[in-house]
A and B are shown apart, each in its own frame.
Chain A
Amino acid sequence: MEQLVPPDHAGGVAPRRTRRVGRALAPYLLSLPSGLWLLLLFLVPLVLMLSLSLKTCSPSTGACVMAWHWGEFSSEMSLYHQEFITSLYFAAAATVVDLIISFPIAYWIAFYGGRRKNFFLLMLLVPFFVSFVIRTIVWEFVLSNNGVILGALKHIHLLPSGFHILGTSYAVMAGLAYNYLPFTALPLYVALERIDRRVLEAAYDLYATKRVGFMKVIMPLAVPGIFAAFLLTFIPMFGDYVNQEILGGTSNTMIGTVIQNQFLVTLDYAGGASLSAILLVVALLGIFLYARLLGSRTIEQYL
């Protein structure tokens, strides 16, 4: 091997080595800022939260001591499993609603948007330039018992005067579905837009009708996008508390509301932290499943 090195390289060992070291270090140096950012603002809080869930805290002072209290998880689960189930149910239902609403929109923009695709996407996103909380409050206003819609319908006696939506599960799910629509529509759009039209033509060439082309080419190629849309919508919905707080009642508490209460009202830091940890595990499980089913590379394309 040694002999293969050209002679003029022999004298330059020292500078070569430093240059090589510099080159080897370059990627690490370049990733240092983002690495530090992740470490300080993501990893450290995460570890703090996880350790917090194992501590016991004094309810009066809020001071916490590490107690390796693994029982916290099971006791929280037995206390709040109903809220978990409610969250799961709301998030799943609202995600399905979003998928059903977004698919035709994304499909239409991707395939028939022509040169105005970006304009249509913008139109889809315009409402979401407004803050999340304000949007939800507007929904509260829209759905209120004597607001523009229900009030008008009651006025012409299409609805009984006692009818209400606010406070029900439907209001929460509607709010969730509305607020997270772009998280479903955009990955779906990206997936559909990326489908090579020439491949679709090849299907038609091989005797596929429009319907068969849709089922055998478009759908299979859209599956990673559907799954990405599902994850991106479902996971944040699962931990959401704003919609439930503003639009929901007392009977349909979601887990996000519980966590928020524990941290800010009852000061049960350990309880809130352990519930958050459980939430995190559920999210990771979803991503893990996605990676296993569809390969880890595909997920990056939608994030």
Chain B
Amino acid sequence: MASATQKAVGGTYMSIGATKATESKPRGARGPGRAGRIANLESADVEFINVTKTFNDANAVDDLNLRVEAGEFFSLLGPSGCGKTTSLRMLGGFEDPTKGRILLGGQDVTNLPPYRRDVNTVFQSYALFPHLNVYENVAFGLRRQRIEKNEIKRRVGEMLEIVDLPNYEKRQSSQLSGGQQQRVALARALVNQPKLLLLDEPMSALDAKLRRQMQIELKRIQTQVGITFLYVTHDQEEAMTMSDRLAVMWHGRIEGMGTPKDVYDSPTTEFVASFLGASNLLAGSIVSTSGSRTTIAIDGGGTIVVPADHVPDLGGSTAVKVGVRPEKIGILPADAVVASDHNSIGGRVRVSTFTGVGNQYIVETNLGVEVTAYAQNIGHQLAPRSGDEVILSWPVEHTFTVKPLPTTVEINETEGD
């Protein structure tokens, strides 16, 4: 099954590429919208310039500046209600920005209606046409572009194959399961091969296996056809594995942006550090910097050394938070010698939980704060039990510093995936 799909698909994109070139002319001449759309056929870059969207006096999107390169797979992450859908809707043309401009392929599209933008959307709510069957749903965009009948038939057939819904053409959309509807929504947008595809949690209703399969297909289409993807997801792992770059949004602003590795390993704000994966954060203040190392005095006592170039701009203040990821921490016996260029904190194990792939420890440190550490289940290292005295140690390189949030702000929407 999988290999059959693979094969059909392999041939697909070669031929689509070929038709696209020969077809571009009549399509532009006769189609209602394409002619008015942006001229070059390659994928387009996206730019939000100081975009603000206000609903009832509240900023859903707040002075957003974002640039997505052509052909890039870019993900937007963030807690519920942070403005991800609103950003996509402005790009799709369904919402007018209160302030700012939006560029698509270098052209200002801020005031262009949706049908004039070579952008397709996979809506969070699917929004399938209830009066049309699966085939007509997927063919809708192609019909609007006056593509020839046989060509439509071929492309719809191929796309339904890709989303694993062959022989569903005649089904009414109300007769589909949630996951099937979502795949039809995906097919309906993908089949048009737009320059930019907006995907608003396009796989939230799929099971793990199907999701994996679709992720691979999406990534393949994105690289082969060169579509720019702007992808919204709540699944952090999905965002990290698929994205070229990602951004973490919070209260309508971008809190952190970069490659998944950069954002994960060196978060620059407290919000990003705690939203993306798990972090141990210790409040402290900068004492001194010498060479490539900065020393930070932790509020409960003791010092921690961090790479100097990772210290963010604190705007004159010396208050920072020092962070380390649980899986970067090694657990040593209380009498062990800590390696050079490592930070360490002593403490007592409070909770030890076996999770299958590893052990999770909650350690009551001598600084009065709890630190979570995570050790992989490789079998031959120390497995302390609760009550044991231990030393936590990790390389200076894996320590990051973030600007603390104002104390009045609570990160209450954070959801641990």
B183 at the interface (CB under 8 A from A): no
Q: Give the interface segment out of B123-131, B242-250, B276-284.
A: B123-131
Question: Contacts A198-B123, A198-B125, A201-B94 known; A208 to B144 CB distance under 8 Å?
Answer: yes
Taking the closest CB of chain A, its distance from the CB of B208, in whole angstroms, is: 27
A-B pairs with beta carbons under 8 A, tally: 68
Instruction: Look across to chain A and name the residue whose beta carbon is closest to the beta carbon of B145.
Output: A207
Instruction: Look across to chain B and name the residue whose beta carbon is closest to the beta carbon of A224.
Output: B131
Q: Give the interface segment out of B111-119, B151-159, B160-168, B311-319.
A: B111-119
Q: Would B140 and A203 count as touching, CB distance under 8 A? A: yes
B256 at the interface (CB under 8 A from A): no
Q: Tell me if B's interface is mostly helix, strand, loop or mixed.
A: loop
A209 at the interface (CB under 8 A from B): yes
Instruction: Look across to chain B and name the residue whose beta carbon is closest to the beta carbon of A204.
Output: B114
Identify A201's interface contact among B32, B123, B140, CB under 8 A: B123
B330 at the interface (CB under 8 A from A): no
Q: Would A212 and B114 count as touching, CB distance under 8 A? A: no
Q: Would B131 and A209 count as touching, CB distance under 8 A? A: no
A205 at the interface (CB under 8 A from B): yes
B192 at the interface (CB under 8 A from A): yes
Q: Would B32 and A209 count as touching, CB distance under 8 A? A: yes
- For A220, what are the chain B residues with a Cβ–Cβ distance below 8 Å? 131
Taking the closest CB of chain A, its distance from the CB of B272, in whole angstroms, is: 31
A300 at the interface (CB under 8 A from B): no
Q: Would B129 and A198 count as touching, CB distance under 8 A? A: no
Taking the closest CB of chain A, its distance from the CB of B30, in whole angstroms, is: 13
Assembly CA distance A54 to B319 (angstroms): 99
Assembly CA distance A198 to B32 (angstroms): 22
Assembly CA distance A208 to B33 (angstroms): 8
User: Residues of A with Cβ closer than 8 Å to B?
Assistant: 196, 198-199, 201-209, 212, 216-217, 220-221
User: Residues of B with Cβ closer than 8 Å to A?
Assistant: 31-34, 92-94, 113-115, 119-121, 123, 125, 127-131, 140-141, 144-145, 188-189, 192
Q: List 22 A-B contacts (CB under 8 A).
A: A198-B123, A199-B130, A201-B94, A201-B123, A202-B128, A202-B188, A203-B129, A204-B114, A204-B115, A205-B94, A205-B114, A205-B119, A205-B189, A206-B120, A207-B115, A207-B141, A207-B192, A209-B33, A209-B115, A212-B144, A220-B131, A221-B131
Give the top 6 A-B pairs by smallest Cβ distance, nearest first. Answer: A206-B141, A207-B144, A202-B127, A204-B114, A198-B127, A207-B33
